[in-house]
Amino acid sequence: MDETATDPAISTAAVRRRTPRTAKRLIGALALVLTLAGGGGTWWAANRFLIPHVEISDVAAYQAEQSAAGGSSEKTDTSGTVDGSTYTSDDASVTIAKHTSGSGDDTLTYYVADVTLTDATALRSAFADNQFGENITARVSEIAEDNDAVFAINGDYYGFRSDGIEIRGGVVFRDEGAREGLAFYKDGTVKVYDETTTTGDQLVADGVWNTMSFGPAIVENGQTVDGIDDVEVDTNFGNHSIQGDQPRTAVGVIDTNHLVFVVVDGRDTGYSRGASLDELAGIIEGLGVQTAYNLDGGGSSEMWFDGEVVNRPSNGGERATSDIFYIAG
């Protein structure tokens, strides 16, 4: 049941804005189920990968409740100025640059967002449709606009899996350690960690503000990590490996509260072939980072800035995803 339709605290406009997205996704999922109804595993596959499963129906309210109980808080939005490819405010500065190398079939195009935060909590996260659960998706632009973002990238696509440690805004949403994660602390430090050796509650107690659960780490101590081109991030259907030249999204840490976000375009002959993980690590290492971490890529790779999609997503348009990381405008 869509709780937003009966909640008087949510505006009619918000309901109108969100309902079409959910309806379209459900119609598409059900159509696929009916088309393939003869297969014994069809319902399982649709239930696992297509039909939304809402665990938290109002993320904003849940975060506010948990933050009040735990004593954490988010900074309020401040106004800024956007001038071409640069944004500055009291909380953050963002500068976007496009890079192109090679020619013909070997052309590689990628975008770098250099982000300096005044306060680490200015890096925020948002979930599609303000809901948490599996298979809940919306376009990056929609999630960004719903949250008054000026800059955003696709996140770790947490909704494609049921494990990992997901902490957003100092609140634990999922606590099923499974892989190598990345933790952003409220003091501005960022660390790669093993999810299986800790808990979400312990991380929050230690001052973690956000986590990312995808990977792998591609740069540590300023050097490209060996063997990353052979890593399998997931064993989910359709996501067994991330090898080869692909569209990519990554985050790098230069210093305390100084980050870079890199989005590599790919699968587009003559414009951008995509990059291997090792090549992505080399690109981001060259920006002076000490630590870098791979995020969801492929058709999900997207950078959004000042109301526009900056890069050229490989699907020919935006792909719906479950979450973003963003800077508020």
How confident is the model over 261-279, as pLDDT tens digits? 999 999 999 999 999 999 9
Q: Output 17 or 87, whichever has higher pLDDT.
A: 87
Return the pLDDT at 70. 57
Q: Say how far apart CA 249 and CA 133 lie, in whole Å.
A: 22
User: Are residue 213 and residue 132 in the same domain, yes or no?
Assistant: yes
Instruction: State both tokens at 183.
Output: 């933790």
Sign of torsion, CA 191 193 208 48? positive
Q: Which of 50-54, 70-74, 303-307 has the lowest mean pLDDT?
A: 70-74
User: Are residue 7 and residue 100 in the same domain, yes or no?
Assistant: no
User: Are residue 32 and residue 151 in the same domain, yes or no?
Assistant: no
pLDDT of 4 strictly over 90: no
pLDDT of 240 strictly over 70: no
The share of the chain scoring above pLDDT 90, in percent, equals: 67
Q: Say how far apart CA 170 and CA 173 lie, in whole Å.
A: 10
User: Are residue 20 and residue 163 in the same domain, yes or no?
Assistant: no
User: Are residue 174 and residue 300 in the same domain, yes or no?
Assistant: yes
- How many C-beta atoms lie closer than 10 Å to residue 88's C-beta? 14
Residues 81-132: tens digit of each pLDDT = 333 479 999 999 999 999 999 999 999 999 999 999 999 999 999 999 999 9
User: Are residue 276 and residue 320 in the same domain, yes or no?
Assistant: yes
Q: Say how far apart CA 130 and CA 144 lie, in whole Å.
A: 11
Residues 145-160: tens digit of each pLDDT = 999 999 999 999 999 8
User: Are residue 39 and residue 63 in the same domain, yes or no?
Assistant: no
Instruction: Give 208-243 as a DSSP string.
Output: EEEEE-S--EEEETTEEPTTGGG-----STT-S---
Residues 196-222: tens digit of each pLDDT = 999 999 999 999 999 999 999 999 999
pLDDT of 50 strictly over 80: no
Q: Say how far apart CA 209 and CA 185 lie, in whole Å.
A: 5
Q: Give the chain's domain count.
A: 2
User: Are residue 39 and residue 130 in the same domain, yes or no?
Assistant: no
User: Are residue 180 and residue 322 in the same domain, yes or no?
Assistant: yes
User: Are residue 98 and residue 70 in the same domain, yes or no?
Assistant: yes
User: Are residue 153 and residue 40 in the same domain, yes or no?
Assistant: no
Model confidence at 309, pLDDT cuts 50, 70, 90, reads: very high
Model confidence at 52, pLDDT cuts 50, 70, 90, reads: confident
Residues 289-302: tens digit of each pLDDT = 999 999 999 999 99
Domain boundaries, position 30:
1-51
Return the pLDDT at 66. 83
**Contact criterion met (CB below 8 Å) for 167 and 203:** yes
Nearest-10 crossing angle of helices 42-49, 12-35: 150
User: Are residue 179 and residue 193 in the same domain, yes or no?
Assistant: yes
Return the pLDDT at 48. 54
- Among 163, 204, 157, residue whose Cα is nearest residue 183: 204
- Among 225, 239, 230, residue whose Cα is nearest residue 158: 239
- Among 173, 168, 171, 72, residue whose Cα is nearest residue 182: 168
